[in-house]
């Protein structure tokens, strides 16, 4: 009987361990300068990318994140990739960002952009960007969309991404 | 031919609507509207109340945004330096407390008291003033001259997260330009900030 319980507990531990990605600092790609990061916005291949600029301190960003995360599952059979670009502060990567990624089971690729001289690079992301977050860029080698807004549903995202993938 | 004309008109219409949505708010050289907003001391404040002002540092800011908080000490210093020279900081919280409770009027009073804000910290009740200016985030600065002409829009300096790493003080440079009868260069800059919170 006791043996059975132990087996069940062990099984539970293993499965939860498999489901939850254990984020560590090594799992993040950390860029000190925008110059190093810039190619992420201009990859020339067959994949459609959704690039979301966010931070754990940004309320609307955190609210829309589950909808964006859902896209990974929705498009798992397509050439699609989500890239979350965190603008969290350098001192809060270990104390805030990594615990957040673990708590919310984030499955997207996560990049940290530390370049603090934002006036030098906001226009290079998109000259329509005011500097407020969240923003989302959807692009592939055919076309590109810039959105300074918060998403409130998965449907909104699917409609946009479909126009990139099914054309 | 008619079809082509129709497409042309549609395209022009689309272009115009895109143009108007993208360019809300003030540009450099526009005359900014005055306002009457409640200050944390309970009194109504207008730009016209400032006698002998040579300009105004109208700053959309708030309680909850970490970027706004990082600039609090720098705003205090700016006001203490430039108000005696005729350029007071006039801070406005554009956020709807229904969207973020930290930005309510009592919370503003509390924060102003804690930090000892020497400048007016006004509440944009009903969120009517910030769209006129075209503020999109906090903090977002509009430097006006004595005639309320918009002379500079954007960031306070080039290093929001680290006051010790500031290399260019955009706003102070813009004030110096005004003092010398020149137009600020750059006249606009950008910085990361928190979107303005409203209930839709």
What is the domain-level CATH number for residue B45?
3.40.30.10
**Per-residue pLDDT of chain A in tens (167 residues, 90 and over written 9):** 556 665 655 555 555 544 556 999 999 999 999 999 999 999 999 999 999 999 999 999 999 999 999 999 999 999 999 999 999 999 999 999 999 999 999 999 999 999 999 999 999 999 999 999 999 999 999 999 999 999 999 999 999 999 999 76
Closest A-chain CA to B190: A119
Find, among A90, A104, A94, A88, the residue nearest to A56 by Cα. Answer: A88
Task: For A119, name the nearest residue in chain B, comparing CA atoms only.
Answer: B190
pLDDT at A161: 98
Q: Which residue of A has its CA nearest to B139?
A: A132
Which of B165, B190, B197 has the CB atom closest to A119's CB atom? B190
Domain presence at residue B20: no
Residue B78 lies in a domain: yes
Strand, helix or coil for residue B55: strand
* Percent helix, percent strand, percent coil in chain B, to nearest 5: 35, 20, 45
Q: Which residue in the set B66, B137, B158 is minimally distant from A117, CB to CB?
A: B158
Comparing CB atoms, the residue among B66, B100, B154 nearest residue A57 is B66
State which residue of chain B sits closest to A56, comparing Cα positions. Answer: B66
B9, containing H or E segment = helix B2-22
Is residue B3 assigned to a domain? no
Q: What is the pLDDT of residue B15?
A: 47
Interface of B with A (CB under 8 A): 22, 64, 66, 100, 136-137, 154-155, 158-162, 165, 167, 170, 189-197
Tell me if B187 is assigned to some domain: yes
Task: Give a yes or no: residue B21 inside a domain.
Answer: no
Mapped onto helix, strand or coil, the DSSP state of residue B38 is strand
Number of domains in chain B: 1
Binary contact (B190, A131; C-beta < 8 A):
yes
Q: Domains of chain A (ranges plus CATH)?
A: 22-165 (3.40.30.10)
- Between the alpha carbon of residue B15 and those of residues B1, B3, B8, B11, the distances in Å are 21, 18, 10, 6
The parent domain of residue B36 ranges over: 26-195
ipTM > 0.85? no
| Distance from C-alpha of A84 to C-alpha of A62, rounded to nearest angstrom | 11
Is the residue at B4 inside a domain? no
Residue B177 lies in a domain: yes
pLDDT along chain B (200 residues), means of 10: 52 46 80 98 98 97 97 98 98 97 98 98 97 97 98 97 95 98 97 92
Contact B133, B57 (CB under 8 A): no
- Per-residue pLDDT at A166: 76
Does B73 reside within a domain? yes
Nearest to A50 by CA among A33, A63, A30, A68: A68
């Amino acid at each position: 009987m006791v043996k059975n319980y132990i087996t069940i507990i062990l099984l539970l531990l293993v499965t939860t361990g498999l489901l939850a990605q254990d984020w560590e600092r090594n799992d993040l790609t950390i860029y000190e300068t925008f110059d190093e990061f810039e190619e992420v916005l201009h990859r020339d291949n067959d994949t459609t990318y959704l690039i979301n600029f966010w931070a754990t301190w940004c309320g609307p960003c955190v609210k829309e994140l589950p909808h964006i995360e859902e896209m990974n599952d929705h498009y798992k059979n397509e050439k699609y990739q989500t890239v979350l670009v965190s603008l969290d502060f350098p001192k809060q990567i270990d104390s805030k960002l990594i615990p957040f990624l673990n708590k919310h089971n984030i499955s997207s690729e996560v990049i940290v952009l530390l370049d603090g001289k934002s006036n030098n690079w906001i226009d290079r992301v998109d000259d329509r960007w005011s500097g407020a977050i969240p923003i989302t860029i959807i692009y592939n080698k055919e076309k590109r969309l810039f959105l300074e807004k918060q998403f409130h549903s998965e449907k909104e995202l699917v409609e946009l991404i479909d126009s990139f993938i099914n054309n | 031919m008619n079809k082509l004309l129709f497409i042309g008109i549609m395209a022009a219409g689309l272009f115009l609507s895109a143009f108007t949505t993208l360019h809300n708010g003030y540009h450099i050289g526009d005359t900014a509207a005055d306002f009457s907003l409640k200050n944390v001391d309970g009194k109504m404040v207008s730009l016209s109340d400032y006698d002998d002002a040579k300009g105004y540092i109208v700053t959309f800011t708030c309680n909850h945004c970490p970027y706004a908080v990082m600039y609090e000490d720098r705003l205090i210093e700016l006001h203490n330096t430039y108000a005696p020279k005729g350029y007071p900081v006039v801070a406005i919280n554009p956020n709807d407390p229904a969207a973020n409770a930290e930005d309510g009027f009592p919370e503003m009073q509390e924060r102003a008291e804690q930090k000892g804000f020497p400048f007016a910290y006004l509440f944009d009740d009903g969120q009517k003033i910030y769209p006129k200016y075209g503020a999109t985030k906090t903090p977002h600065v509009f430097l006006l001259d004595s005639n309320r002409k918009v002379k500079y829009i954007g960031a306070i300096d080039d290093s929001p997260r680290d006051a010790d790493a500031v290399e260019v003080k955009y706003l102070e440079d813009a004030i110096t330009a005004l003092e010398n009868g020149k137009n600020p260069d750059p006249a606009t800059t950008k910085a990361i900030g928190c979107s303005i919170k409203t209930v839709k």
